[in-house]
């Protein structure tokens, strides 16, 4: 007597099972015992775990991720608020300056105390200083051809830029501030208001303080404010 070959074992297609369950969300109603019997791979260890335990694990993981994202948003909001307050105090202090020397000194003080910027230089053309009774006082300097050419070369056709600053460049561009023994770093921006008005240089002895990857939007904003005040104070100095 011959025996018939066993029929091949049939398996269900997982995607079709998933589609069927999605179309029948009430399948497990009245079959709660089946839910308790289901075992699936454990997400963090060998072996299996129950479906309910896996669901609890996934929900806890999602809650932790949501909490982390919320904390990141709150931290960003706190940072933005602090930055806004420091920027507000900076601008108000600049608005109180009675002349361009006081403007430069207020800028240096505010950037040092509120933004941890050790040294600055404000290079302005002679046209903004011709009517002043005395030469500009540091950190303000009269822009000559030598400084202008070097600053333009460092900017490399950009409006603003973060870059390394050699001791030689430091001595030329920040002559009032002690130069570092090795390279420092700076962020510089071009001052304009319809026409070129000079350059603003923020510098640090730390070569990584102003990195090339840093955003320069804040420096450009400060430069825009300083440009307008330089022109206004040159035309109408406070009594």
Q: What is the pLDDT of residue 216?
A: 96
Same domain, yes or no: 146 and 60: no
Q: What is the pLDDT of residue 8?
A: 59
Exposure of 13 in the CB half-sphere (CA atoms within 13 A):
4
What is the DSSP code string of 138-160? TTEEE--HHHHHHHHHHHTT-SE
Same domain, yes or no: 155 and 177: yes
Which domain covers residue 63, as residue numbers?
A: 32-95
Same domain, yes or no: 112 and 225: yes
Is-contact 172 147, C-beta < 8 A? Answer: yes
Question: What would the mean pLDDT of 13-18 be, rounded to a whole number?
Answer: 82
pLDDT bin (cut points 50, 70, 90) of residue 12 is confident
At 102-148, the pLDDT tens digits run 999 999 999 999 999 999 999 999 888 777 778 899 999 999 999 99
Same domain, yes or no: 227 and 117: yes
Using DSSP's 3-state secondary structure scheme, residue 181 falls into coil
Is-contact 38 51, C-beta < 8 A? Answer: yes
Q: What is the pLDDT of residue 39?
A: 72
Q: With b meaning 16 or more CB within 10 Å and e meaning fewer, what string describes 199-213?
A: bbbbbbbeeebbeee
N-terminal to C-terminal alpha carbon distance within the chain? 123
Residue 40 lies in a domain: yes
Q: Is the pLDDT of residue 181 over 70?
A: yes
Q: Is the pLDDT of residue 7 over 70?
A: no
Residue 68 lies in a domain: yes
Q: How many residues does the chain have?
A: 239
Exposure of 82 in the CB half-sphere (CA atoms within 13 A):
8
- Report the side by side order of strands in the sheet with 196-204: 140-142, 119-124, 196-204, 184-192, 160-165
Total domains present in the chain:
2
**Tokens read off for 157:** 């056709």
At 38-93, the pLDDT tens digits run 777 776 767 777 777 777 888 888 999 999 999 999 999 999 999 999 999 999 99
């Amino acid at each position: 007597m011959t025996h018939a070959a066993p029929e091949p074992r049939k398996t269900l297609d997982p995607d079709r099972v998933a589609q069927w369950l999605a179309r029948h969300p009430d399948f497990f109603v009245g079959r709660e015992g089946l839910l308790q019997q289901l075992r699936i791979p454990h997400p963090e260890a060998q072996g299996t775990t129950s479906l309910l335990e896996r669901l609890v694990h996934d929900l806890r993981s999602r809650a932790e991720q949501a909490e982390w994202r919320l904390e990141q948003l709150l931290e960003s909001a706190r940072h933005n608020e602090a930055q806004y307050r420091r920027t507000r105090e900076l601008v108000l202090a600049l608005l109180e300056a009675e002349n361009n020397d006081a403007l430069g000194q207020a800028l240096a003080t505010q950037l040092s105390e509120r933004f941890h910027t050790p040294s600055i230089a404000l290079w302005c053309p002679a046209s903004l200083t011709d009517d002043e009774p005395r030469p500009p006082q540091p950190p303000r300097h009269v822009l000559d051809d030598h400084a202008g050419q070097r600053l333009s070369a460092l900017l490399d056709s950009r409006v603003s830029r973060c870059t390394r600053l050699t001791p030689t460049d430091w001595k030329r561009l920040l002559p009032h501030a002690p130069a570092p023994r090795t390279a420092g770093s700076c962020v510089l921006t071009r001052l304009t208001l319809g026409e070129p008005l000079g350059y603003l240089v923020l510098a640090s002895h730390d070569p990584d303080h102003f990195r090339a990857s840093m955003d320069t939007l804040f420096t450009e904003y400060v430069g825009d404010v300083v440009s307008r005040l330089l022109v206004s104070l040159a035309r109408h100095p406070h009594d």
